[in-house]
Amino acid sequence: MPYSIVETCIGCTACTKRCPTNAITGERNQLHVIDPTLCIDCGACGVVCPPEAILDTYGNVCRSLKKDQWPRAVVIEEKCIGSGCELCINICPFDALSLQHTDRVDDFFGVSTVDEKKCTGCRLCEDVCGWDAIHIFPLKEEIIKDWSELTEEEKQIVARARKALGVV
């Protein structure tokens, strides 16, 4: 099930700019919509949503984070096999990964390196890495807003959205 946007959306367009698959549409100052056929459940939209109007796959409210706290890929160089694999590089929609030489690993072509200015933390690289060499921090569970932090009105809105989505 894809991410969804609830009625507290203010139409700021932050999510549309952050979405790696262009799954989000909407006019400024109006409720936005996520196309379920394009959504890859990455959560990149949720961390930039000021009114916290985005629900994850399970109907949990995504927490808005300050820019310096946004999810980012971290490569564990000792685990990255570098040249010959490049799955993470090929799947990244933002060209945020490339092979670079490092002081620690001396592979002929280098190891995967993250350009933090380009990385949205969409988790595609983490999902595709068969070597457990790349991780996104903070973890997905850490960017979910706890139910106790929601106002009564927000709880009602989320409950209605969950019911509409068929999530209990």
For residue 51, name the pLDDT band (cuts at 50, 70, 90).
very high
pLDDT digits (tens, 9 = 90+) for 106-130: 656 788 999 999 998 989 999 999 9
CB burial readout 21-33, b (16+ within 10 A) else e: bebbebeeeeebe
Confidence (pLDDT) at 106: 61
Please give the Cα distance from 129 to 15 (Å, whole number).
26
Q: What share of the chain is helix, strand, coil (3-state, %, to 5)?
A: 25, 15, 60
The model's pTM is 0.83
pLDDT digits (tens, 9 = 90+) for 57-97: 999 999 999 999 999 999 998 899 887 789 999 999 889 99
Domains in the chain, please, with CATH? 4-67+140-165 (3.30.70.20), 72-137 (3.30.70.20)
